[in-house]
Amino acid sequence: MSTPIKLEFAKIPSMGSGYRRALFPKKRGLHIKETLPAFEATVQGVKIDPQKLAAYREVCGFHPDAGVPITYPQVLAGPLHIQLFTHPKFPIPALGIVHMRNVIVQHEPISPEASIDFEVKIEGNRWAKKGVEFDVITDAFVDRKKVWESTMTIFSRQRVPEGSETKYPKDDLPKPESFETWKVPPDQGRAYAKVSGDYNLIHLYPWTAKLFGFKRQIVHGMWSLARCAAAMTEPQLPSKLSVSFRRPIMLPATVRYGDQKLEDGAAFAIMKRDEDKPYLTGSWTKA
């Protein structure tokens, strides 16, 4: 493996600088004979803004006293992710990448007053159907102890080597006893962008989403996951929250949410309103 390209930040960088670079990419994609270089990004002493945390909990449906939700550290680390995606030596254009899967493990609760150190790594890639996948590994530390970790799988459409596609088993659909109906308003993407800093154009307006081939704006995958987590009872720590994003939710939307009790947690899904077709499936269990 090549020596990682390392970025060290004295404070959390701005999302805006990364998005400005993403709008004017000079990247050709990953050549079929290449391997994605290794990247690392670190920052220490990240503090949680209580007003931003409260706004995040409200937008995602968490109780006001929910503390730091399991999905929130990924929001805090988002600026590190965009800095890596838009680095001059990162060959894949940031615009157009798709969030496919996510696995989060929470080892211990994180206090809203905690000082958090983040480490982010990208190591290698896998060729998939019609494109390339890579994992973004994020670790969070409090007092030098790992309290939270995430593996985010990203997909980019491009030419692939013949016969090299990685195949994955299909997830079983949960079998909830009942469903809740959720109405997702047209401005949900803009509301989540305000509390997360993720202003990807595919989430904001119909005209900005059409620039990337979508009929209308789509909701953030991490909002959908957070909304599911807010609807469930958190398992005993350490816990593992896993999700597969199956298809985008175009806004506005009416969807069905349901979960199925498991021995050590629950499986969950967001489904189309009138069809047994999932937008996402996942589970939240004891790790």
HSE on the CB side for 252, CA within 13 Å? 7
Walk me through the domains of the chain, giving residue ranges and CATH numbers. Answer: 1-168 (3.10.129.10), 171-287 (3.10.129.10)
Q: Assess whether pLDDT exceeds 80 at residue 170.
A: no
Quote the CA–CA distance of 164 and 132 in Å, as a whole number: 10
| DSSP per-residue letters across 37-100 | PPEEEEEEEEE--HHHHHHHHHHHT--TT--S-TTHHHHHHHHHHHHHHT-TT--S-STT-EEE
Quote the CA–CA distance of 21 and 94 in Å, as a whole number: 9
- φ and ψ of 195, to 5 deg: -95, -15
pLDDT score of 48: 98
Share of the chain above pLDDT 70, in %: 92
Average pLDDT, the chain: 91
Convert the pLDDT of each residue in 6-36 to its tens digit.
999 999 998 777 767 766 666 667 777 778 8
HSE on the CB side for 147, CA within 13 Å? 22
pLDDT score of 26: 66
pLDDT score of 169: 60
Instruction: Compute, in degrees rounded to 10, the torsion defined by CA atoms 97, 107, 284, 111.
Output: -80
Report the range of poorest mean pLDDT among 121-130, 178-187, 239-248, 254-263.
121-130
Reference 221, options 103, 97, 99; nearest CA is 99
Alpha helices in 100-255 (DSSP H): 188-196, 206-210, 221-231
pTM summary value: 0.92
